[in-house]
A and B are shown apart, each in its own frame.
Chain A
Amino acid sequence: MRASLLTSTAAAMFALSFAAGGASAASKWDGADDLPTSPLACDASAAAAPAAAKPYDGGQPTNPPDKAGKEITLVDVPKLIGIGYFNATSKGMQDAAKELGNVKVTTDGPTEAKIDEQIKFIDNYITRGVDGVLFAANDPVAIAPVLKKALSKGIHVVGYDANSTPDAREWFVNQAEFNGIGKGMMDSMAKEIGEDGSFAIVTSTFTTPNQARWIAEMQAYAEKCHPKMKWLETVEAQEDNNLSFNQATTLINKYGDKLKGLFGMTSVATPASAEAVTKAGQCGKIAVVGLATPNAMKPYLKTDCVKSVVLWNPIDLGYAATYVMRAVVDGKLKPGATSVEAGKLGKLNVVNGSEILLGPPFIYTKANIDKFDF
Chain B
Amino acid sequence: MSATAVASPASPLSGAWRRLASQEALLAVAIVGLAIVVGLINPRFLATRNLADILLGNAYIAVAAVGMSMVIISGNIDISVGALIGVLATVSGSLAVAGAPILVSWLVPLVLGVAVMAAQGAIVAYLRIPAIVVTLGMLSILKGGLISVTGGKWITDLPQNFHLADLSLFGVPMPVVIMVLATALAALWMRHSPRGRAIYATGGNPEAARLCGVNPQRTVLMVFALHGLFAGLASLVYATQLRVIQSTTPQGLELTIITAAVVGGVSILGGVGTVVGSTLAAVLIAEITSALVFINVSPYWTDAVRGALILATVIADILRRQRRAARGWKR
Contacts and interface: CB of A to CB of B under 8 A. Distances in A.
Interface string A1-44: 11101110110011011101101110000000000000000000
Contact of B299 (A7, A24, A111): A24
Interface in A253-308: 253-254, 256, 268, 271-272, 275, 280, 293, 295-296, 298-300
Nearest to A293: B154
A142 interface: no
A206 interface: yes
Contact of B242 (A13, A241, A298): A241
Contacts of B242: 241-242, 245, 271-272, 275
A58 interface: no
A84 interface: yes
B34 to A, nearest CB: 7
A246 B309 contact: no
Contacts of B313: 6
Interface in A66-84: 81-84
B243 A299 contact: yes
Count chain B CB atoms within 10 A of each CB in A112, A241, A295 and give the residue with the most: A241
A250 interface: yes
B290 A10 contact: no
A82 B152 CA distance: 4
B249 to A, nearest CB: 8
B253 to A, nearest CB: 9
Contacts of A295: 154, 156-157
Contact of B151 (A87, A242, A247): A87
A83 B248 contact: yes
Contacts of A256: 44
A2 B26 contact: yes
A81 to B, nearest CB: 6
A234 interface: yes
A130 interface: no
B305 A13 contact: yes
Nearest to A234: B299
Contacts of B150: 82
B7 interface: no
B319 interface: yes
B49 interface: yes
B238 A242 contact: yes
B152 A81 contact: yes
B250 A21 contact: no
Contacts of A9: 308-309, 312
Interface residues of A, number: 55
Nearest to B297: A17
Count chain A CB atoms within 10 A of each CB in B42, B301, B320 and give the residue with the most: B301
A297 to B, nearest CB: 9
A253 B152 contact: no
A142 to B, nearest CB: 19
B154 A296 contact: yes
A239 B251 CA distance: 9
B298 interface: yes
A241 B244 CA distance: 8
B329 interface: no
B151 A82 contact: yes
A247 B289 CA distance: 9
Interface in B275-300: 286, 289-290, 292-300
Given A2-B316, A254-B44, A296-B154, A81 B147 contact: yes
A251 interface: yes
Contacts of A245: 57, 241-242
Nearest to A5: B316
Interface in A218-255: 233-236, 238-242, 245-247, 249-251, 253-254
A295 to B, nearest CB: 5
Contact of A23 (B42, B298, B309, B315): B298
Contact of A17 (B30, B34, B42, B305): B305
Given A5-B312, A13-B309, A20-B297, A111 B292 contact: no
Nearest to A200: B293
A296 B299 contact: no
B49 A253 contact: yes
B100 interface: no
B149 to A, nearest CB: 10
A225 to B, nearest CB: 25
B108 to A, nearest CB: 21
Contacts of A293: 154
A236 B289 CA distance: 11
Given A206-B300, A251-B293, A3 B152 contact: no
Interface in A328-342: none
Nearest to B27: A6
A271 B244 contact: yes
A206 B299 CA distance: 9
A175 B153 CA distance: 22
Given A5-B312, A6-B26, A280-B49, 9 more contacts: A1-B323, A3-B29, A21-B301, A239-B251, A241-B246, A246-B53, A250-B53, A275-B244, A298-B156
Closest 6 CB pairs of A and B: A82-B152, A17-B297, A9-B312, A24-B298, A253-B50, A246-B57
Interface of A: 1-3, 5-7, 9-10, 13-14, 16-18, 20-21, 23-25, 81-84, 87, 111-112, 206, 233-236, 238-242, 245-247, 249-251, 253-254, 256, 268, 271-272, 275, 280, 293, 295-296, 298-300
20 contacts: A6-B30, A6-B313, A10-B37, A10-B312, A14-B37, A24-B301, A25-B298, A82-B247, A83-B152, A111-B248, A233-B296, A240-B251, A246-B289, A247-B293, A253-B44, A254-B42, A254-B44, A268-B246, A296-B154, A299-B243
